[in-house]
Structure 1
Amino acid sequence: MELWIPITLVSAFLQNLRSVGQKHLKATMGTLGATFVRFAFGLPFALVFVSVLHWGMDMSFPHLNRSFILWSVLAGLSQILAQFLLIHLFSFRNFAVGTAYSRTEPAQAALFGLLFLSETISAGVLAAIAICVVGVMLISVAHTPVNPRSLVTSVFQRTALIGLASGTAFGVSAVGYRAASLALGGPNFIMQAAVTLAFTLTMQTIVMAAWMIFVDRSDFHRMRKGWKPGLFVGATGATASFGWFAAMTLQQAAVVKALAQVEMIFTFASAVFFFREKVNRLEVAGCLLIVAGILVLVLMG
């Protein structure tokens, strides 16, 4: 088994835990505060990762060149935009359509990988991406009147366009992080991933902190009160991102993001076994498609 596969699976599991933590924090901190925690509380852990690799494992620091900085800034800002658009969808009654379209991230990452990095992928990988995307979209609309046919007919609705824009920003972000990590050129994929993570989290924390000071400073007080669950979100989020960056240094972003759709199965399993939620045929079909897509990706990709 190639190393990027288990790294991606572990990262998807940790991201699911981070999402659960953020959902809890949203009730006490609000949307902006819960989003900021992901970056600010994750930054200390990212710095620890770099420190351990450098001083504990004697790995040298890579040179922060211009290409790395440009790609990191583009990826970091794109990720903030993607998160904002995704959260904005929840203000609409029919947000499920937009959320489903935001899940086209792997397909869009494949396109941006081709345009920006001249990366090509095989027919097997394209098939796997398509199968996974359809599976995730089915799960996204499983509890609404929306059906697969309406997803096609509603493509020009406002929520669908916002969802597609979110998926676009996520796709650009994924490809940007891969390009940034590769631009470092060494000493190895682990240190490249750690430095990329520390740099981008620093930039994202500064940008979001400035925005919060300008918009609503009361979020800082709520974060101080909820620092313990915030640390959990920061630790799981930073570790998951470290895994994503490492995997995307080893493998194309579109391929990693396709396998990362396994996170939906983790979420689905949590809902069934821990929260005793009922499932329907669309959710089961969506999970089966994701599993099928992952099998195609591993066997044919």
Structure 2
Amino acid sequence: MPVWIAVTLAAALFQTWRTALQQKLRGQLSVNGAGVVRYLYGVPFGLALLLTYSALVGTQGGLPPPTLSFLGFAVLGGLAQILGTNLLIMAFGARGFAVGTAYAKTEAVQGAVLALILLDERLSPLAWLGIAVGVSGVLYLSLAGKREGMLGLLRATVQPAALYGLGAGLGFAFSAVLIKTTNQQLDHPDPVLRALLSLVAINLLQTLMQGAWLAWREPDQLRAVFASWRDSVPVGALSALGSACWFTGFALAPVALVRALGQTEILFTLLFSRFYLKERPSHAEIAGALIVVAGVVLVLLGR
């Protein structure tokens, strides 16, 4: 099995596992509190991964110094990921873990549209078909198989779970573009090392940004974040491992291939939803989630 396939599957598993644990934290913490643990407790594990990789492979002349453009894109990418994560957690509260994640999986479709608008990247007919299939899946998922006609379809697009989940996907789409740009600002020949450096820098900046917000707006939650360390440390560890695997996959294979294979996350999501969180997604919700995945895969294949 090629390395990029193995690390991408691992990334999908780690991300699903981390999100499931993060959902559990919503009983103890606010949206921002549950979000900041991902970054705060991920920093030590990210540093450990960077040091381990450097010791095993070497740095080929030392670590590249951060530039202003690197820090600027890191701040923007980290902020977009914070917003996406917060909206995803809010989608969980509105409709559940599996459905919230499925809405956010429109990230690849939204990214394709953003690339067309902002970067003038043209899409093939197969990609546009994928967008239509993905939108259909989102609407079907919103209705959970109910037959409510056009009025029901309209209501489905403005219900909280749909808005939060689609907003999360948009945040993640922006963050993916910005994080990739962040990696490219470092002057070093090893793309994996650049990815791990970007991971550490972005997690540090995210901890400062969202931690400062908690200290200002929710000081009680900041104390709760530290008090919940036993439950929060695994979230940080899985977050660092998942991000490291995503960036490694991007370094070893085309992004479109990694994104397409990464849609296996929705399958892990349904398993975690059923057996870990004890949620019972309906047959209609499962079907809608799989339609969304099919649409996203078509978009990526069409690119």
Range into which the TM-score falls when normalised by the shorter chain: 0.7 to 0.9
Match of 2:207 in 1: 205
Residue 223 of structure 1: aligned partner: 225
Structure 1 residues 131 and 245 mapped into 2: Cα distance closer, same or farther (>3 Å)?
A: farther
The CA distance in 2 between the partners of 1:243 and 1:16, in whole Å, is 13
5 Å-filtered alignment, 1:37-116, equals: 37-59=37-59, 60-89=62-91, 102-114=104-116
Structure 1 position 21, deviation (Å): 1.2
Q: Is the 8 A contact 1:5 1:247 kept in 2?
A: yes
Structure 2 unaligned segments of length 5 or more: list them: none
Change over 3 Å in CA distance of 1:182–1:246 after alignment to 2: farther
Residue equivalent to 1:153: 154
AA aligned to 1:49 is L
Q: 1:148 to 1:128 in 2, by over 3 A?
A: farther
SS in 1 for 2:189: coil
Q: Deviations over 1:221-253 (max 9, x none)?
A: 323332122111000011111122233345565
1:170 corresponding residue in structure 2: 172
Q: TM-score, normalised by structure 1?
A: 0.80
Preserved CA contact (<8 Å) 1:64 1:184: yes
Can you list the C-alpha shifts for 1:264-284, whole angstroms capped at 9, x where unaligned?
211212334556654533234
1:78 is aligned with what amino acid?
Answer: A
| 1:186-197 aligned within 5 A | 186-197=188-199
Q: Which of 244, 262, 265 is the equivalent residue of 1:263?
A: 265
CA 1:230–1:100: 2 relative to 1, 3 Å: closer
Structure 1 pair 96/6, CA: closer, same or farther in 2 (3 Å)? closer
**TM-superposed deviation, 1:213:** 0.9
Question: Percent of pairs identical after alignment?
Answer: 33
8 Å contact kept, 2:77–2:174? yes
Decide whether the 8 Å contact of 1:82 with 1:167 is kept in 2.
yes
**Does the CA contact (< 8 Å) of 2:256 and 2:301 recur in 1?**
no
Aligned residue for 2:182?
180
CA separation in 2, counterparts of 1:197 and 1:54?
14
| 1:238 partnered with 2:279 | no
Alpha carbons 1:7, 1:243 under 8 Å: kept: yes
| Count of aligned residue pairs for this structure pair | 300
Structure 1 counterpart of 2:11: 11
TM-score by length of 2: 0.79
Distance 1:71 1:151, change over 3 A: farther
Compared with structure 1, are the counterparts of its residues 218 and 78 closer, same or farther at alpha carbon in structure 2 (3 Å cutoff)? same
Deviation at 1:77, TM superposition (A): 0.8
Structure 1 124/174 Cα, relative in aligned 2: closer, same or farther at 3 Å?
same
Give the corresponding residue for 1:23: 23
Q: Name the SS for the 1:27 alignment partner.
A: coil
